Amino acid sequence: MKVIYEKSPMLKDAPLSYCPGCTHGIIHKLVAESIHELGAGGRAIGVSPVGCAVLAYNFFNCDMVQAPHGRAPALATGMARVHPGHVIFTYQGDGDLAAIGTAETIHAACRGENIVVIFVNNAIYGMTGGQMAPTTIAGQTTQTSPYGRDVVSAGHPVRVCEMLATQEGTTYAERVAVHSVPHIRKAKKAIKKAFEYQTQGRGFSIVELLSTCPTNWGLSPVESLAWVEENMIPQYPLGVFKDKYAGEVAR
């Protein structure tokens, strides 16, 4: 019998704690596959955030540390400075990365820390019950924007990849989505490239993944996938915002 598909050995045999229809599971799989394919699981160290992915250390089959809210890039910095040859990554949501941890994100990028940041953007605080996030789009209803996000009082959503692409320290910044198979395939390529760059010591890479939150969006999983296409992509256009090594022949 020929094995044509198996769970990545970079994932533990543990049930995921995510809600039905949430795309965290897909992203976990893509991260795990990428690290495994690069043969880097034994020297991988991950940082789990505060938020839905706080328990990521129960899922990834590598050494992991859990960070205070928003501080994952600072922890990763400390670890990368201790183990320069290792594969250090953070796995963060939008509230964690783009609100409370904005400074840590930007400065890790500006220093060109040799880390990979996996940024899961679902435009809401999921774990705490669906509050407005820095990436909540204008008009979007959440627990703390019950009349829809009013940009006059609540401000505008943050575009992280665009911002980081302007910084010299950033090596690679790409935004992808995981709401359809073709997009998932592209997302895998982006994540793998980020980890590839890191194993080559090329510095700071961020992959932003437009993700879903059916539970807090109040939509079915299928409706949520459509919502990404219709509402999130117009606000957060997909693409490569920066790639210092774009000219190289693809490996």
Partner 1 sequence: MQRLLMKGNEAIAEAAIKAGCRHFFGYPITPQNEVCAYMSRRMPQVEGVFLQAESEIAAISMVLGASAAGARAMTSSSSPGISLKTEGLSYIAGSDLPALIVNVQRGGPGLGTIQPAQSDYNQATKAPGHGDLRLLVFAPSTVQEMVDCVFETFDLTEKYRMPGMLLCDGLLGQMMEPVIFPEVEVTPSEKPWALTGHGDKRQPNIITSLNLDPELSQSANLARFERYAEIEKTQARAESLMTEDADIVVVAYGACARIARSAVSAARAEGIKAGMLRPITVWPFPTQQILAAGKSAKALLAVEMSMGQMVHDVRTAVQFKKPVHFFGRTGGVVPTPNEVLEQLKIIDGGLKA
Q: Which residues bind partner 1 (CB under 8 A)?
A: 12, 41-45, 47-48, 54-55, 57-58, 60-68, 71, 74-79, 81-83, 86-87, 103-104, 106-107
Nearest-angstrom CA–CA distance, 81 and 198: 14
Smallest distance, Å, CB 115 to partner 1?
A: 10
Smallest distance, Å, CB 108 to partner 1?
A: 9
CA 89 to chain centre: 10
Smallest distance, Å, CB 204 to partner 1?
A: 14
Smallest distance, Å, CB 104 to partner 1?
A: 5
- Pick the closest to residue 114 from 149, 78, 148 (CA basis): 78
Closer residue to partner 1 (CB): 22 or 79: 79
Closer residue to partner 1 (CB): 136 or 205: 205
Collapsing DSSP to helix, strand or coil, 33 comes out as helix
Nearest-angstrom CA–CA distance, 172 and 217: 30
Closer residue to partner 1 (CB): 109 or 190: 109
Smallest distance, Å, CB 188 to partner 1?
A: 23
Closer residue to partner 1 (CB): 81 or 156: 81
- Pick the closest to residue 231 from 161, 177, 191, 169 (CA basis): 177
Closer residue to partner 1 (CB): 103 or 222: 103
Nearest-angstrom CA–CA distance, 87 and 93: 20
Collapsing DSSP to helix, strand or coil, 16 comes out as coil
